[in-house]
Amino acid sequence: MSVMEATDLYRFYHVGDEETRALRGVSLDVRPGELTVLLGKSGSGKSTLLACLAGLDDPDGGVVSVNGRTLSRQPERVRAALRAEHLGVMLQGGNLIAHLNVLDNVTLTGRLNGKPDEDGAIKLLTQLGLAERLHAFPAQLSGGETARASLAAALAHRPRVLLADEPTAEVDAQTEQHVIAVIKDFVRRNQSAAVIATHSPRLAEQADRVLRIQDGRWQDA
């Protein structure tokens, strides 16, 4: 049984006369308890795929569903509700709200879902080495701290699927191991799933499944 399914996704971008075929027929089954890593050169389509899986972008063709519910081509309010209930999304550049401190950012989705869990949020931030930064605002964080706080914000409400774009891009090797441990622990403990785009061989080494994308298609397809 899968927690998320993507079938035959296409996404084309048009800028002037130029057409970029960012996704060209990508299908994916995301299974519970599995950490899936997406590898591919810069520009191969990883971020576009994650944005479509998150319902933040709509594919031009194909369908995305989460927990059996269709996410693609739904009104924004339906997608936002499905995202808040089932998905944790961490995109490049972070997903923190500027006027909320780290702790309030991390507890936000839980509060919106009617399941506030400040203790859980503090525990998660502590695991990620941010115990001293609970009351800092996003503008005061380093790149690596922003990435870790964004990851905590994506995980705190224990989503069925974590979708993360380069969560270890700006951290040192030791911090990277912490981040990977938190993600693996989350997947195992909750029988959730994670789909992570990365350039990190260390993260790929610890994945249950590694998928390679090239020019908007699976490499071996």
Ligand X SMILES: Nc1ncnc2c1ncn2[C@@H]1O[C@H](COP(=O)(O)OP(=O)(O)OP(=O)(O)O)[C@@H](O)[C@H]1O
| Interface residue list for ligand X (CB under 6 A) | 13, 15, 20, 22, 40, 42-48
User: Beta-carbon neighbour count of residue 64 at 10 Å?
Assistant: 25
* Structure tokens, 36: 């899936």
Kindly state the smallest distance separating residue 190's Cβ from ligand X, in Å: 26
Q: Which is nearer to ligand X, 23 or 102 (CB)?
A: 23
Kindly state the smallest distance separating residue 106's Cβ from ligand X, in Å: 24
User: Beta-carbon neighbour count of residue 169 at 10 Å?
Assistant: 15
Q: Which is nearer to ligand X, 21 or 158 (CB)?
A: 21
Q: How many CA atoms are closer than 13 Å to the CA of 189, on its beta-carbon side? A: 9
User: Beta-carbon neighbour count of residue 70 at 10 Å?
Assistant: 15
Kindly state the smallest distance separating residue 211's Cβ from ligand X, in Å: 12
Q: Which is nearer to ligand X, 26 or 108 (CB)?
A: 26
Q: Which of 176, 189, 122 is nearest to 148 (CA)?
A: 176
Kindly state the smallest distance separating residue 166's Cβ from ligand X, in Å: 7
Q: What are phi and psi of 122, to 5 degrees?
A: -65, -40
Q: Which is nearer to ligand X, 8 or 132 (CB)?
A: 8
HEC string of 33-44 equals CCEEEEECCCCC
Kindly state the smallest distance separating residue 203's Cβ from ligand X, in Å: 13
Q: Which is nearer to ligand X, 109 or 168 (CB)?
A: 168
Residues 190, 120 contacting (CB under 8 angstroms): no
Q: Which is nearer to ligand X, 42 or 174 (CB)?
A: 42
d(CA 29, CA 5): 5
- Which amino acid is it at 209? R
Which helix (H) or strand (E) element contains residue 125? helix 118-127
Kindly state the smallest distance separating residue 165's Cβ from ligand X, in Å: 7
